[in-house]
Amino acid sequence: MPSLKRYTQTKVLRDVSAMMKWFNTAGPCQADIHHMLSPTERLPGVKTLIDQRSYFVIHAPRQIGKSTAMIALGQELTASGKYTAIMVSAEVGTAFPRDMGKAERAILSSWQLACQAWLPADLQPPAWPTADEGRQISAALSLWAQTSPRPLVVFIDEIDALQDEVLIGVLRQLRDGYPKRPHDFPHSLALIGLRDVRDYKVASRDSNRLGTASPFNIKVESLTLRNFTAEEVAQLYQQHTDITGQIFATEVLDQAYELTQGQPWLVNALAREMTEKLVKDITQPITLEHLKQAKENLIQRNDTHLDSLTERLREPRIRAIIEPMLAGQPLGDIPRDDREFAIDLGLLRRHPAGGLVIANPIYREVLPRMLASGSQDSLPLIAPTWLDETGALIPETLLDAFLKFWWQHGQPLLGSAPYHEIAPHLVMMAFLHRVVNGSGTLNREYAIGSDRMDLCLEYGAVIIAIELKVWRDGRPDPLKAGLEQLDSYLARLKLDWGWLVIFDRRSGLPDLAERTTTEPAVTENGRKITVIRG
């Protein structure tokens, strides 16, 4: 016979299970099963645009909540009794990039199913009319607007998945119908996608983008869906606490925002990892150590969102920005459209103090780690000679192991690294990742114009601060600047020694094995430095 206490605990757990909601990391949120905030609060002014019969654009990076917000807004507007409002998608049209007729029929079939799922029977459109290719979308919207008992509001998601003739054809149909609103065409309409209209893909133009001469020049405004604020991250996590009683330490809430800068997928993914994987027992609090482990797990798994993000690094437009940023070099003459494109993708953000930075600390960690993964997979087997019999790291032995590795394998690995300007950085990071191997951490810092990358290797009680500099043709020896910068970095970490690695990339030099050396140095503040040249 179970005790009363045990019975009570079991009953409480069952009651919690019945009320349970989850942190969502896949597709639009559903309010009955997911923790979520009011999605429309992150789009101030959108209802005013709709009341003004405006056609507009909403663009934001993937996994930020666009679909969730627009589904919710459509339901809210419809429930108000004022509008017939719905979000539909153009994505199925991507299977027919140059066949307008097939793309239109696929899109309209998808819209019919969406209407059956989201709208009451009396607000659903009639059967789509027969129309010529290139006129089917506008004919359907026209008939729907005419027969709807309320003003029609349509949000078209994934519009920028369309390309070439199909994209231009759809946009022209929307522009052609625009003057006939609200009785013979939708009262208000929004295009929803990853990018603003100017960056929609059009192969027929030299730039591969619509630019400013868009067939959708009827838009009143381009809006973007902002990230969560620190207060909203705390509110979202509090929903889990309210149901389960499981507490997030205050520093977890603060650090979760700091790591993600409020990026919704990351906020939810960290919470899901902590609550469903790391601390399943809801009687146990969630600590900062759990958050750190959750972050590391996400990065190591390279979940879909992070994987799609790193795929962007292959694009020439993105490489031209990210490569100098990782090297700490000025961006130079990067076209404004390309910089805005990287911001639209969610890779970069404008810092309040000015300048471009990587969007958040997790992305800042992911980008160089993913770039170094090829070099890491190419490394030979390396015995961990840098560990003593207790498993503690020996810095001097680690340095010897790196030098031997660099002499033997550095040259071919440099040639295979994906970003030439930071090839030495990537190879060294690949080696150090093999060192930490899940038992330590490797953190990075880099900033535009600093001409350096700082690494901090933590393994047990050992912390090694490493500064990477590159000596290029026509530039002075970076030793002096490197010592000053490393001295400042060590002061912030409260360390009194570190490594300064100077990669000599000048032309006409002997092989790595011949030019790789080490020498001691001391900073102006008396910190002891090992200078490694290679």
pLDDT at 196: 78
- Residue 423 pLDDT greater than 60, yes or no: yes
Alpha-carbon gap, residue 457 to 220, rounded angstroms: 50
Helices and strands of the chain, counted as H and E runs? 18, 13
Percent of the chain with pLDDT over 70: 92
Alpha-carbon gap, residue 280 to 458, rounded angstroms: 28
- Highest-pLDDT range among 302-311, 434-443, 497-506: 497-506
The reported pTM is 0.82
Q: With bands split at pLDDT 50, 70 and 90, how would you rate the model's confidence at 206?
A: very low
Quote the mean pLDDT of the chain.
87
Alpha-carbon gap, residue 182 to 150, rounded angstroms: 10
CB of 265 closer than 8 Å to CB of 273: no
pLDDT at 240: 97
Per-residue pLDDT, averaged over 82-90, amounts to 97
Per-residue pLDDT, averaged over 151-177, amounts to 92
Per-residue pLDDT, averaged over 512-518, amounts to 85
Alpha-carbon gap, residue 465 to 386, rounded angstroms: 17
Q: With bands split at pLDDT 50, 70 and 90, how would you rate the model's confidence at 214?
A: low
pLDDT at 124: 96
pLDDT at 440: 86
pLDDT at 344: 82
CA 431, 432, 436, 442 torsion-angle sign: negative
Stronger pLDDT, 421 or 334, i.e. the higher one: 334
Class of residue 53 by CB neighbours under 10 A (exposed 0-12, middle 13-18, buried 19+): middle
Per-residue pLDDT, averaged over 42-58, amounts to 93
Q: With bands split at pLDDT 50, 70 and 90, how would you rate the model's confidence at 411?
A: confident
The residue whose two tokens read 């490797």 is 442
- Highest-pLDDT range among 173-187, 359-373, 468-482: 173-187
- Laid out side by side, the sheet with 152-157 consists of 84-89, 152-157, 188-193, 55-59, 222-223
Q: What is the pLDDT of residues 123-153, one digit of tens each?
A: 999 999 999 999 999 999 999 999 999 999 9
Reference 87, options 27, 127, 133, 45; nearest CA is 27
- Residue 495 pLDDT greater than 70, yes or no: yes
Q: With bands split at pLDDT 50, 70 and 90, how would you rate the model's confidence at 252?
A: very high
SS3 content of the chain, % helix, strand, coil (to 5): 50, 15, 35
- Highest-pLDDT range among 19-28, 127-136, 472-481: 127-136
pLDDT at 201: 58
Q: With bands split at pLDDT 50, 70 and 90, how would you rate the model's confidence at 212?
A: very low
- Tell me which long-range contacts 505-508 makes (C-beta under 8 A, separation of at least 24): 505/424, 505/470, 505/471, 505/472, 505/473, 506/471, 506/472, 506/473, 507/473
DSSP per position, 436-449: HTTSSEEEEEE-TT
For each of the domains in the chain, give its residue range(s) and CATH number, in order of start. 4-25+228-301 (1.10.8), 39-223 (3.40.50.300), 368-533 (no CATH)
- Residue 47 pLDDT greater than 60, yes or no: yes
pLDDT at 274: 98
Alpha-carbon gap, residue 440 to 284, rounded angstroms: 25
CB of 85 closer than 8 Å to CB of 78: yes
- Highest-pLDDT range among 34-38, 326-330, 417-421: 34-38
Per-residue pLDDT, averaged over 109-123, amounts to 96
Q: With bands split at pLDDT 50, 70 and 90, how would you rate the model's confidence at 81?
A: very high
Reference 103, options 70, 135, 127; nearest CA is 135
Q: What is the pLDDT of residues 255-265, one digit of tens each?
A: 999 999 999 99
CB of 418 closer than 8 Å to CB of 426: yes
pLDDT at 209: 57
pLDDT at 11: 45
Per-residue pLDDT, averaged over 39-49, amounts to 87
Structure tokens at 250: 């205050």
- Residue 12 pLDDT greater than 50, yes or no: no
- Highest-pLDDT range among 205-209, 434-438, 465-469: 465-469
Per-residue pLDDT, averaged over 469-496, amounts to 93
Q: What is the pLDDT of residues 308-364, one digit of tens each?
A: 777 788 888 888 888 888 877 788 788 888 888 888 888 899 888 878 889 999 988
Q: With bands split at pLDDT 50, 70 and 90, how would you rate the model's confidence at 93?
A: very high
Q: What is the pLDDT of residues 288-313, one digit of tens each?
A: 999 999 998 998 887 777 777 777 88
- Residue 213 pLDDT greater than 50, yes or no: no
pLDDT at 109: 97
Show Cβ contacts of residue 408 under 8 Å, excluding neighbours closer than 6 positions. Answer: 513
- Residue 5 pLDDT greater than 70, yes or no: no
Alpha-carbon gap, residue 387 to 396, rounded angstroms: 10
The residue whose two tokens read 């979760």 is 256
Between CA 400 and CA 451, with CA 402 as vertex, the angle to 5 degrees is 120
